[in-house]
């Protein structure tokens, strides 16, 4: 069911609890950083060759000069163990869809497919710009996928 979208003009702290019910509570709004973040959470049980598990975190960041002005809401997935990539991407998709429903009031078309295919895409939905970007690491041992929700210009 669609819900009313959040306004990009809302204070950054308004966005800090968006992922709490999805398992990613933030540590609270910090004026000195102009934002909030969850802890990095392991989303798969087996570490990669670098000794780290695949992990995911939630962020809401304000503009550095006007911290009350939202710059972006982000989810960042680090794939440290490519053998467990599918499971990690499923978790990112679940959380991104949940956050999107709160921010824009619906699930963006293609969001799940773009994440699961390790693709990149930008699109506008109402007053929001959504960007998914997957970057393969130069080491060849993993990748990161970011999902950003930004006020559209």
User: What pLDDT does 64 receive?
Assistant: 83
User: What pLDDT does 128 receive?
Assistant: 95
Cα–Cα nearest to 59, from 81, 83, 30: 30
pLDDT in tens, 108-147: 989 999 999 999 999 999 899 999 999 999 988 999 999 9
Pairing of strands 41-42, 55-62: antiparallel
Alpha-carbon distance of 61 to 148, in angstroms, equals 11
7 vs 37, more confident: 37
pLDDT in tens, 31-49: 989 999 999 999 999 999 9
User: What pLDDT does 2 receive?
Assistant: 57
Average pLDDT over residues 53-74: 94
DSSP lists the bridge partners of residue 75 as 58, 147
Q: What is the pTM of this model?
A: 0.95
The pLDDT of residue 76 is above 80: yes
17 vs 65, more confident: 17
Q: In angstroms, how far is CA 13 from the centroid of its own chain?
A: 16
Alpha-carbon distance of 110 to 101, in angstroms, equals 14
Q: Are 5 and 14 a contacting pair, CB within 8 Å?
A: no
**pLDDT cut 90: percent of the chain above it:** 85
């Amino acid at each position: 069911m669609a819900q009313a979208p959040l306004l990009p003009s809302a204070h950054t702290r308004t966005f800090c609890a968006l992922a709490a019910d999805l398992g990613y509570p933030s540590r609270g709004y910090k004026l000195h950083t102009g934002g909030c973040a969850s802890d990095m959470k392991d989303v798969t049980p087996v570490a990669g060759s670098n000794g780290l598990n695949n992990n995911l975190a939630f962020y809401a960041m304000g503009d550095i000069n006007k911290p009350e002005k939202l710059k972006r809401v982000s989810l960042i997935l680090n794939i440290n163990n490519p053998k467990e990539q599918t499971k990690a991407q499923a978790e990112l998709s679940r959380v991104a869809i949940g956050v999107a429903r709160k921010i824009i009031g619906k699930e963006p078309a293609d969001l799940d497919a773009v994440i699961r295919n390790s693709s990149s895409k930008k699109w506008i939905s109402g007053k929001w710009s959504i960007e998914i970007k997957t970057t393969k690491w130069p080491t060849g041992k993993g990748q990161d996928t970011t999902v950003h929700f930004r006020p559209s210009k």
